Amino acid sequence: MFSLAVTFLCLLCPVTSAASLSSQTCIVPSGQQWLVTGLENQLMNSINHLCSPDPSALIALNLAKNQDVCVPGQLLQQIKDTAAQEMTSGKVALYVLALRSSCENPREVVTPNGKINLVQILEDKTREETESYKKRSPKTTFYQLALDALALCFEESPDIENVAGILIKAANDLQLREDFSVDTAAMVSLALVCVYDDPSSNNLREKIPKVLKLLIDHILEKQQENGIIGNIYSTGLAIQALSVTSQFWSQDRWNCTKTLNKALQEAYLGAFNNPGAISQILPSLVGKTYLDVKNLQCLPVNPIRVNYTIINHLIGLYFEHSIIVDVPPCSVLLDVLEAAKRDEPREFSFKTKETCWGPMVISINDIKADENEKTYWQFLSGNKPLDQGVGSYKPSNNENIVAIFSKY
């Protein structure tokens, strides 16, 4: 236990790294890992049912080092495709963090409408937040402003000192701090730890330890007897904040194992039943925090190679053309057709029509299917007919895909 004197001295002396000091050992027991895996699978299964892509889900999956590259890859592409849409500053910050967690550069995001710089957009929106703060409150919330600060810290933006200064001032203001939810206090703590660990933030470093202690005290005051901090949904972020600020609380004030066990019990009972709730608790269950996004290392994702052949021995001038195309892993067959068309448009042009079962190919190389003639384009893997459409079937590496103009 730290004495008051030692705590006071620690606030005055430099610390090597606030983030490098870990809390008491707190890991999910091997016998309960299946609960964590279940949450991860539930999150992956929910991705395709979201109304809009959730950057928090991608961050959580990447922090969990998910081995299935398909779902995170699809979610990453959706995030890129929607990066140009109008968003609040906090949402832009999450997009920046999500891209960084996938080792993508948020300053050069390729969208359907061209390349954009999300960091510049974040800086502009954060300035709107700070201008509004001059009238007592940010444009949105302090939680979003803390997200802005965390993302700007990772990107080494010159705006970070201004934003961090506002967060420090707000946390020092008793009235504002009392209005902070556990989530807000935790996110502000994470952002300030990031700033503290940046050697270039000399103007703020001496102020941050005192503020972190105030914030951690505020978080721990919300701790319940059963270990939950705030509520079950804010507990994940609280664990993150506490795990990187252990120098500011004595070990008798928080039992991480007790909190983790309660979170696992709630997971078993189905408390985390939506993507947002899972995304918030999953990093803590795998021993990670949002600060780990900055140092994530991504394994290279190699494309898959598909041999694609089209055959017409039924009408007109017979033909048989083959091509080898490289497509990203987890691509569907339609992506293979698009790649072939892009490489050799004359031979591999095609058309589709939408059906209740997804897109259906009705023409390849100007040879059209005809209901009156009972002709169609049949797709096979080797010699085996496919049981899924071109919009669903996912070819494997070095697979031989054949499209044959056929009769039924």
- pLDDT over 50 (residue 8): no
- The pLDDT value recorded for residue 25 is 56
CB 202 within 8 A of CB 14: no
* Average pLDDT of the residues in 295-303: 84
Q: What average pLDDT does this structure show over 316-337?
A: 93
Please state, as a whole number, how many other Cβ atoms lie within 10 Å of the Cβ of residue 284.
26
Are both 14-295 and 304-407 of the same fold? no
Is pLDDT larger for residue 97 or for residue 138? 97
Percent of the residues in the chain that have a pLDDT greater than 90, as a whole number = 76
Q: pLDDT at position 18, please?
A: 39
CA 308 to chain centre: 34
Cβ neighbour number for residue 222 with a 10 Å cutoff: 17
- Report, in this order, helix, strand and coil percent for the chain, each rounded to 5: 50, 15, 35
Return d(Cα 404, Cα 408) in angstroms, integer.
Answer: 12
Please give the Cα distance from 56 to 59 (Å, whole number).
Answer: 5
pLDDT of 9 higher than 50: no
Task: Let me know the angle formed at the C-alpha of 380 by 378 and 383, rounded to the nearest 5 degrees.
Answer: 120
Tell which residue, 238, 264, 261, 227, has the closest CA to residue 38: 264
User: Which of 167-176, 245-254, 282-291, 294-303 reaches the highest mean pLDDT?
Assistant: 282-291
DSSP 169-218: HHHHSHHHHHH--HHHHHHHHHHHHHHHT-TT-HHHHTTHHHHHHHHHHH
Q: How far apart are CA 342 and CA 251, in angstroms?
A: 61
Q: Mention every residue, 6+ apart, whose C-beta is less than 8 A from residue 159.
A: 123, 126, 127, 152
Tell me the DSSP string of 157-168. -TTHHHHHHHHH
Q: What does the pLDDT read at residue 329? A: 85
What average pLDDT does the segment 241-250 reach? 93
Mean pLDDT along residues 89-100: 98
pLDDT at 13 over 50: no
Looking at the domain that runs over 304-407, which CATH code has it been given?
A: 2.170.130.30
**Is a pLDDT exceeding 60 seen at residue 24?**
no
Contact (Cβ atoms closer than 8 angstroms) between residue 147 and residue 141: no
- Per-domain boundaries in the chain: 14-295, 304-407
Tell me which residue of 297, 19, 335 sits closest to 150, measured CA to CA: 19
More confident residue, 183 or 138: 183
Average pLDDT of the segment spanning 148-168: 96
User: If pLDDT is split at 50, 70 and 90, which confidence band does 70 have?
Assistant: confident
Per-residue pLDDT tens digits for 111-124: 888 999 999 999 99
Q: Looking at the domain 14-295, which fold is it?
A: Glycosyltransferase (1.50.10)
Q: For position 229, what pLDDT does the model report?
A: 97
The chain-wide mean pLDDT, for the chain, equals 90
